[in-house]
Amino acid sequence: MKRLVCIILSALALCTGATAAERVFVSTDRDVYIAGDEVWCSLFCIDSETGLFSHFSAVAYLELISDDGTAVTAKVSLMEGRGAGRFRIPSSAPTGNYRLVAYTALNINEDGDGRFCGSKLLSVFNTTSSARVKDGVSILSEDIYEDLPRQEASTAGAITATVNSRGGNLSLFINNPGPAATLSVSVFHLDDIVPPANNGIDTFLESVKGTLSPVYSKQRTPEYEGEIIYAAVEGLEKEALDIIEGVSIATLSAAGSPSDIYVGKVHDNGRIAFFTNNIFGDRELVCELNTAAGYKGHIALADNFIYPSPGNIPPLPIAKNLFSSLVNRKAAIGSAIQADTLVSFLPRRQDGLIESIEKKSYHLDDFNRFPTMEELVVEILREVKIRDRRGKNILTLTTNDASGSKKIEKENIIVMLDGVVISDFSLIEKMDAMLIEDVDLYLQSFAIGTVSFDGAINFITGKNYVTAVNFPQSVRVTDFKGVSFPVAYTGRFHSQGGDDYRQLLYWHPLLEAGAGQSIGIQLTAPSYTGTFAVSLQGISEDGTPVRSVTLFDIN
C-alpha cells in the first residue's frame, strides 16, 4: 500500500508541477586520498521546500567522476533522510581531482544538474602509476605550492569538539548545548597536501532551502521502500514476448537470506521491475524467468546509475615537496586494512516479510539422517508431500485452514535452497540430503509484489551450496553490487606489530547528539606526531546547520 501511495503521489507531482525536490549533501571522512584508499561517506537528503530531512527516497546512488568518466559507483541506504556507506578508490585510478555526486531516483527525473549541488571534490594521488586524469593535473614549483591558500572552514551551530591527549590515548568530547542533532564526525591527520575547496553543509542548506522549481520530464519510479532493480527478458523473439507479457513472472533471490526474494511480472516488451527493500553487500543473485513450456529466455539486470558529466573540475596542483606526505599516506593504507576489522555496524532497514510469517523449523541433526531428498521429505517433513504433476515431481505444503480445524494441501508455494527460489524441484531432488542442515516451513499465505503464495519451504545447507547448482538456461547467477552496509570506524585500533601510520583516527557518519548532551569518545593515537583535525558536519532537529573544524597536536 505504501508503494502504491508513493507512485500515485509521484505521478501527481509530475503532472501538477510541484516544486519540492530532494537534494543530497555528501560528507566524507577527508578530502584527499591515495588510490586504493577507502572513502567513508555520510549522506544528508533534504527536502528543498522545508529544508528538513526528506523521508521519501530509501536509497541514494554515488558516483566518483572525472573527465575520464565514472571511476567508482556505490549505493547507500537512506533512513529518514540519512545514510552511510563506503567505497574503495581503485588502485588504478589516475591522479587528479574527482567529483563525488549523490542522487536519488527522484533526482533522476529532473532536468538539469541542479541536483548535484551537494556534491564535493576529492583529490586522488596514485603513488604507483604515472597515469593522470586528462588535463587534470597542474605541476607547480615548491614555492608556489607552499603559497597556495587553504580554504578556511566556516562555522555554524553551537556544537563544539575538544580533544585531550595523554600518552597514546586521545579523549574526544563533543558538546551540544542546543537542540538534538545528527552529525558526521571525522578525526584525521593534516599534512602538507592542500585539499580542494568544498562547500560545507551550512552553505549547502542556504543554497537549496525553498528556492527550487525543478522541471520533471522523466518517469523513473521513485524508490520509497528501497532500490528498484530493473531487468529485461533476453533470448526471445517479440512474438514470444507478446505471449508471456502480463502472464509470466521472474524471480530474483540472493543466496543466504530468505528475506531477499523478489518477484516481478513480465510487461512492456519484456521489462521487469523488482521492488526491493535494499539488498545489502556484494551478493550473488539468482535470476529466473518462469515462462510457458518451450520458451528458453532469461533475464538480464539493468544498470541504475546515470554516469553524469563531472562539470567544471579544477586541476590538481602537484609539487615535489608533497613526496613525504604521499609516502606516509601510502604506508597508512596497510594500517587501515588491519583496522577494517574493527568497524561497527550501524542500524539499517530490514525487510522481515518472510521472517514475520509463522515458521516451523526442522534441525535435521535432531533426527535420523537419510541420504536422499525423497527420504528426507517422506520420513521427517510431515507437512510436505511429493506429488507427480504431468510427469514431474513437485512439493506441496499442508497447512490448517482459517478455522484451524481442517488440513489443506497447497501447491502454490515457493521452494527455496539457501534462500534462493528453485522452481524446478528436480534440481533439489538430485542433491545429497546429508548436505541439508535445516528446513524452514512458512505456513501462512503472503504476497511478494503483486504475486501471492500459500507458503514456502527453505532447505538450508549452511554453506550456500546453491551457487554450485547446475541451473538450466532460464536461470542466471549474477554478481550484484548491493547497498553499502552503514558502518562507523571507532578508532580503537590495536596495531599488530610495526608502526601505526593511520591517517584517519575516527569516523562516525550517523552520530546522534541529544539536546544538551556531551559525548565522550576514546581514541588511540598513531605512532607519529603532527597536527590533526576534528571535523563536524550535521543538522539540528530545527533545521539549522552544524559545522566546525577543531585542530589539535599529537607530540
- What is the Cα–Cα distance from 459 to 437, expressed in whole angstroms? 8
> What's the mean pLDDT when you consider all of the chain?
89
Cell of 122: 576529492
pLDDT for res 318? 97
- What is the Cα–Cα distance from 552 to 534, expressed in whole angstroms? 8
- What is the Cα–Cα distance from 30 to 530, expressed in whole angstroms? 16
- What is the Cα–Cα distance from 455 to 385, expressed in whole angstroms? 13
Cell of 551: 585542530
Q: Rounded mean pLDDT of 58-68?
A: 97
Look at residues 79, 63, 83 and name the one whose alpha carbon lies nearest to residue 71. Answer: 63
Look at residues 472, 466, 458, 79 and name the one whose alpha carbon lies nearest to residue 283. Answer: 466
- What is the Cα–Cα distance from 125 to 553, expressed in whole angstroms? 25
Domain range annotation of the chain: 2-217+306-348+485-554, 228-301, 359-469
The tens digit of pLDDT for each residue in 350-408 reads: 766 676 788 899 999 999 999 999 999 999 999 999 999 988 999 999 987 666 667 89
Please enumerate in sequence order all residues whose Cβ is within 8 A of that of 209, keeping only pairs 6 or more positions apart, or say none.
46, 48, 50, 51
Say yes or no to pLDDT of 288 above 60: yes
Q: In this structure, are residues 316 and 326 in contact, taking their beta carbons and an 8 Å threshold?
A: no
pLDDT for res 219? 86
pLDDT for res 334? 65
Say yes or no to pLDDT of 10 above 50: no
Cell of 264: 516481478
pLDDT greater at residue 228 or residue 499: 228
Q: In this structure, are residues 528 and 331 in contact, taking their beta carbons and an 8 Å threshold?
A: no
CA quadruple 107, 109, 110, 116: dihedral, nearest 10: 30
- What is the Cα–Cα distance from 140 to 25, expressed in whole angstroms? 32
Check whether domain 359-469 has CATH 2.170.130, yes or no: yes
Look at residues 360, 354, 424, 369 and name the one whose alpha carbon lies nearest to residue 397. Answer: 360
pLDDT for res 49? 85
CA quadruple 45, 49, 55, 59: dihedral, nearest 10: -40
Look at residues 143, 139, 142, 137 and name the one whose alpha carbon lies nearest to residue 124. Answer: 137
- What is the Cα–Cα distance from 194 to 228, expressed in whole angstroms? 40
Q: In this structure, are residues 77 and 41 in contact, taking their beta carbons and an 8 Å threshold?
A: no
**What is the pLDDT confidence band of residue 50, given thresholds at 50, 70 and 90?**
confident
Which residues pair with residue 88 across a beta bridge?
Answer: 38
The tens digit of pLDDT for each residue in 88-104 reads: 999 999 999 999 999 99
The tens digit of pLDDT for each residue in 317-347 reads: 999 999 999 999 998 886 665 555 568 888 8
pLDDT for res 213? 76
